[in-house]
């Protein structure tokens, strides 16, 4: 279950499934990145709270994974950060944040439709299992706030590319009024289940509809982002 907590009085979202891992998802009250405004004061607030500097990435809608190294804080052209020790944050504009927790560390991954079509979730699970010799059943995953299946209509080509990543239509896919709708949180959940991950927490919040807790790139054309943050 997702629940709200506060970092220095600012509202953030956490998953109780990941109680072993320091992590959170930002709301509008603690934005860490914007193309319109310098957010370094908020990042400093989090770094002071954790007591360590955070690494981040330049997303390119691929499935490359970078391992965070000591004294390196920026990772170009990568959509997942593997953290054995240290802290990292990753920014999202409606795309799906995946936070993996396992005995040896954590990973944040960026799964928009392109990443999901390339099965980012399955690539991440394989990397964690191969690198640390653990089983998918021992990985916990929180799927963070992202655009929901009612708000996200896509072209037929995108719909079919996503459909090819799971065993048949059903949860995560809908057609109405000659439009195609996908729910990336549910599709990522299905990908994880299909590769053996059993412990999954799916965030109920949409970045586009409902309470304005998050920024939505698609519906507001904003340069502000929401972020997933971990500290190991």
Q: Which residues bind Zn ion (CB under 5 A)?
A: 148, 151, 206, 208-209
Q: In the complex, what is the shortest distance from the CB of residue 6 to Zn ion, in angstroms, rounded to a whole number?
A: 25
b/e 88-97 (16+ beta carbons within 10 angstroms → b): bbbbbbbbbb
Q: In the complex, what is the shortest distance from the CB of residue 153 to Zn ion, in angstroms, rounded to a whole number?
A: 11
Q: In the complex, what is the shortest distance from the CB of residue 150 to Zn ion, in angstroms, rounded to a whole number?
A: 5
Helix-strand-coil split of the chain, %, nearest 5: 25, 35, 40
User: Given the complex with Zn ion, which of 191 and 207 has the nearer CB atom?
Assistant: 207
Q: In the complex, what is the shortest distance from the CB of residue 147 to Zn ion, in angstroms, rounded to a whole number?
A: 6
Residue 54, H or E segment: strand 54-57
Q: In the complex, what is the shortest distance from the CB of residue 1 to Zn ion, in angstroms, rounded to a whole number?
A: 19
User: Given the complex with Zn ion, which of 132 and 219 has the nearer CB atom?
Assistant: 219
What distance in Å separates the CA atoms of residue 50 and residue 22, rounded to the nearest whole number? Answer: 9
Q: In the complex, what is the shortest distance from the CB of residue 145 to Zn ion, in angstroms, rounded to a whole number?
A: 10
Q: Is 7 helix (H, G, I), strand (E, B) or coil?
A: strand
User: Given the complex with Zn ion, which of 94 and 201 has the nearer CB atom?
Assistant: 94
User: Given the complex with Zn ion, which of 66 and 182 has the nearer CB atom?
Assistant: 182
24 Cβ partners below 8 Å, 6+ apart?
5, 7, 12, 13, 14, 228, 229
Residue 27, H or E segment: none
What distance in Å separates the CA atoms of residue 42 and residue 34, rounded to the nearest whole number? Answer: 11
Q: In the complex, what is the shortest distance from the CB of residue 31 to Zn ion, in angstroms, rounded to a whole number?
A: 20
Other beta carbons less than 10 A from residue 181's beta carbon: 18
What distance in Å separates the CA atoms of residue 77 and residue 231, rounded to the nearest whole number? Answer: 22
User: Given the complex with Zn ion, which of 136 and 149 has the nearer CB atom?
Assistant: 149
114 Cβ partners below 8 Å, 6+ apart?
61, 62
User: Given the complex with Zn ion, which of 84 and 220 has the nearer CB atom?
Assistant: 220
Other beta carbons less than 10 A from residue 49's beta carbon: 15
Question: Side-chain half-sphere of 143: how many Cα atoms within 13 Å?
Answer: 31
User: Given the complex with Zn ion, which of 169 and 209 has the nearer CB atom?
Assistant: 209
């Amino acid at each position: 279950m997702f629940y709200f907590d506060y970092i220095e009085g600012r509202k953030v979202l956490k998953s109780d499934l990941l109680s072993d891992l320091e992590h959170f998802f930002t709301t509008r009250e603690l934005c860490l990145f914007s193309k319109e405004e310098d957010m370094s004061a908020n990042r400093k607030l989090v770094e002071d709270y954790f007591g360590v500097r955070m690494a981040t990435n330049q997303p390119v809608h691929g499935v490359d994974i970078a391992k965070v190294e000591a004294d390196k804080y920026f990772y170009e052209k990568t959509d997942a950060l593997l953290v054995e020790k240290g802290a990292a944050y990753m920014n999202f504009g409606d795309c799906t944040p995946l936070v993996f927790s396992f005995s040896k560390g954590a990973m944040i991954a960026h799964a928009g439709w392109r990443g999901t079509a390339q099965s980012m979730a399955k690539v991440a699970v394989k990397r964690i299992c191969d690198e640390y010799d653990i089983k998918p059943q021992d990985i916990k995953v929180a799927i963070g706030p992202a655009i929901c299946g009612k708000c996200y209509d896509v072209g037929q080509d995108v719909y079919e590319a996503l459909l090819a990543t799971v065993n048949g239509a059903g949860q995560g896919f809908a057609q109405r009024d000659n439009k195609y709708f996908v729910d990336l949180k549910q599709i990522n959940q299905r990908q994880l289940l299909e590769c053996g991950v059993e412990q999954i927490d799916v965030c109920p919040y949409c970045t586009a509809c409902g309470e304005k807790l998050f920024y939505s790139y698609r519906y507001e054309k904003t340069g502000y982002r929401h972020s997933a943050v971990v500290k190991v």
